[in-house]
Amino acid sequence: MNHEELLSKEELVRTFFESFNNSEVEEILRIVKGYPFVRPIAIGMASYCLRKFKDNFSKELFFWLILMSLKLDEGDICLRLNEESILELIKENVFPKGMTDESIYTLAKNTVVAFIENTLNTPISADNTLISSDKDRKTPLIAYRFEDKSQARIYLRSFYCYESSLADFIKEKAKDESLDEEHKNSLKNSLNILFGSADGKKVNYQKVAAALSCTSPFTVICGGPGTGKTTTVLRILLLLLANSNDSNIRIKLAAPTGKAAGRMVESIVSQIKSFNEVALKLFNQDEDLMNQRLSQIPHESSTVHSLLKVHPHNEIPTYNEENKLPCDILVVDEISMISLGMFSKLISAIDDNTRVIMLGDKDQLCSVEPGSVLSDICSVLSNEKSLSDDKLALLSDLTGYSKDEINAKKDGLNIVSDNVLLLVDSWRFSSESKLGKLANLVNNSIGKDPSSIKATFDDLVTVNQDENTLFVDDKNTEVTLNYIDDSKKNRFALKALSSKIAKTMVDFYSPENMYLGYLKANNFVIRETEKMSKTVFSLLDKYRILCANRRGSLGVEEINEKVNNNIRQIYRKDKDLKEYSDDVFYPGAVIMVTRNDRFLNLENGDIGFVAYQSEAEREKHKAKVFFPPKQGDKPRIVSPERISDYESGFAITIHKSQGSEYQNVCMVLAEKYNPILTKELVYTGLTRAKSEKVDDRIEGGIVSIITDEKILAEAIQTKVNRESGLALMLNKN
């Protein structure tokens, strides 16, 4: 930006604030319409308010609507009337970069201070039809906690209703169930069978989580990758089945994406057989009863959209407040990914008698849409006392651990509350794992000394000095850093880097025992459908490129294009594959679905590969897309021309990768500042990598990071802070 452009933008901002100080609402609307930082939605809302609520629509409310629209872009649910946070919002979204005129900042600050004071000190009249503190009055705007000026917030009505209904649901479900002595003793015995007795051993918080879930109608089990959330859920289901007189318990499993739903049910089903011996003890050696009850554990899972039967262009799902889900136990995984709006729909459809168990990682990325529901629910763990005396005594009695052992803290947080439990022991990373230590460092970096973090960080990673490779070939290296120095940030250098990223993936996939090599060795024909497709999916997940951004030289779109071009070029040089190189759906291509399609049984985020079902179809170029099974072992097979919403899936965003695991990850962050670069993004990308035991050896668990050094350091000390009122509502008596 040259000097003249900066002056022009500074004058625009000055005019914006002066208009709010000197003009009436109609004139302000005329002036600011078209300003780059005034969103169309704010103009639309203001125009509507002027038509319908002219007597109540002040310039203060217009000002807050403009800022609220900026907040929604950042994932916030409401606007907190706090001078510091509002000025920070204005600095990031209104002031031009490099602004030097201090008088504009002073003007903005004075306007904010005056408008906050006017808003909070002007009583809202009982006949005000635009804003009210009572949601039952159905005003478009909601004033929340205006009596407590430090916490005052303004909401759009829909978002306030979402949060308040969720808070009411959790509080209502938080009521403890009464247990008679017989039931209590039965639970004690079952817990000891499943987890072993306490006997002075270290607290097994999976056991405490199971006890919590069996005594509370609503439980959230939170923990990072490898802490055993799904294993704990299986044990909880066994516990509930063994301690119920109901012979037909309806259990449903769900997650926000098809991939996450598939992983959860795969994990549960694969472990059931290993619990047979323990389960037999639970059912007092009655094998018929055991088999009957185990058959009630679902072998399929669905997305939350599918569970509720959400239909396009229909605001109300099939299952809703008037038509509850037919379900006795509901398990929902990866809840950090669920938006506030969808969460509201979900809880509206849950029957009063349904037991709800939710799983997630509070430190992962929030949903793409506004809200941070899991983080807000887990905020109770930061209270000085989060566990009631009665619940603490009950958990101690059921598990055999002392009250002090249960009522412990981890990283300053309580581990257990009346309805939330934090699993703290990771089974994925060994105590010596550098990747595990790095993920923990990133996760706990906020507020720490940057130089101390850098020193620890440098001890855990290997900086790659070889420009010809993105991975360091060393068995002791788990995390490789490929820094982008300033001389490599020009357009041509970045394009060369993205080409190298693409080539690295293709080279990895090309050997005969890898994804493309295996498919090629079988002429891209999936003969033994179930067995071969399972092998291909496994090989595909041995490597994945995860990007921070969709667009740009280091974004998903460009890297996918280069991977596809790279593969096509290889095919063109192969006489047996040349004829397939120009096919839109060429054999070996990877497809990611971008929109739910209930007719094809496909979910947003499903990833499949292109191959043939027979030699005859290969000769006719009649390819199919193979997607992982939803139930059993049979893949979903779809003709590509029937898929209308898709994109290439070799590289995906880190957001899209949540709920997935890969042996090796190439994490592409950015070469310049980007507001989405946060510790949550880096942590999520790092923890997608998972090592596996293959023929008595450990494979994978390796991450290569591509980024600017300063940008990475800033990212891991930047936390996502979404403004909402849910935590306040949950903590309000």
Give tens-digit pLDDT for 29-83. Answer: 999 998 999 999 999 999 999 999 999 999 999 999 999 999 998 889 999 999 9
| pLDDT at residue number 698 | 65
Cα–Cα distance, 724 to 357 (Å, whole number): 23
In the DSSP assignment, the letter for residue 672 is: S
Mean pLDDT of the region 247-261: 90
**DSSP readout, 322-372?**
SS----SEEEE--GGGS-HHHHHHHHHTS-TT-EEEEEE-TTS---SSS--
The pLDDT assigned to 411 comes to 83
pLDDT on residue 384: 84
Residues 508-526 have a mean pLDDT of 96
- In terms of pLDDT, which residue wins out, 348 or 4? 348
Query: Residue 6 — pLDDT band, cuts 50, 70, 90?
Result: low
Residue pLDDT, tens place only, 620-665: 999 999 999 887 788 999 999 999 999 999 999 999 998 889 999 9
Is it the case that residue 693 has pLDDT exceeding 70? no
- The answer, yes or no, to whether residue 1 has pLDDT greater than 60, is no
Question: pLDDT (tens digit, 9 = 90+) per residue, 387-399?
Answer: 999 999 999 999 9
pLDDT tens-digit map of 104-114: 999 999 999 99
> What pLDDT score does 520 carry?
96
| Among 370-374, 577-581, 637-641, 697-701, the range of highest mean pLDDT | 637-641
Residue 404 DSSP code: H
| Rounded Cα–Cα distance for residues 715 and 309 (Å) | 38
| Confidence band, pLDDT 50/70/90 cuts, at residue 431 | low
Calculate the CA 8 to chain-centre distance: 40
Cα–Cα separations (whole angstroms), residue 656 to 151, 243, 250, 659: 34, 38, 30, 8
Residue 284: is its pLDDT beyond 60? yes
Residue 515 is predicted with a pLDDT of: 97
pLDDT at 488: 85
Question: What is d(CA 169, CA 344) in angstroms, rounded to the nearest whole number?
Answer: 10
Looking at domain 181-426, which CATH architecture does it have?
Answer: 3-Layer(aba) Sandwich (3.40)
- Give mean pLDDT, residues 554-564: 96
Is the model's pLDDT at 427 over the cut of 80?
no
Chain mean pLDDT for the chain: 91
Model pLDDT, residue 721: 87
**Residues sharing a CB contact under 8 Å with residue 166, sequence separation 6 or more, in sequence order:** 340, 343, 344, 347, 373, 726
pLDDT in tens, 124-150: 988 899 999 998 999 999 999 888 888
Q: In what order do the strands lie in the sheet with 153-156?
A: 78-80, 153-156, 141-144, 131-132
Quick check: 694 pLDDT over 80?
A: no
**Are 427 and 228 spatial neighbours (Cβ–Cβ below 8 Å)?**
yes
Q: Closest Cα to residue 649, out of 533, 481, 493, 505? A: 505
Q: What is the pLDDT of residue 433?
A: 85
Q: Give the whole-number percent of the chain exceeding pLDDT 70.
A: 97
pLDDT band at 696; cut points 50, 70, 90:
low
Architecture in CATH of 434-586+641-717:
3-Layer(aba) Sandwich (3.40)
pLDDT, position 309: 92
pLDDT at 357 over 60: yes
Domains 181-426 and 434-586+641-717 share a fold: yes
| Strand (E) or helix (H) holding 637 | strand 636-638
pLDDT(201) > 90 = no
The domain segmentation of the chain, as residue ranges, is 9-151, 181-426, 434-586+641-717
| Stretch 472-489: mean pLDDT | 84
Residue in 167, 173, 172 with CA at minimum distance from that of residue 219: 173
Name residue, tokens 């997305």: 303
Please provide residue 339's backbone torsions phi and psi, each rounded to the nearest 5 degrees: -70, 160
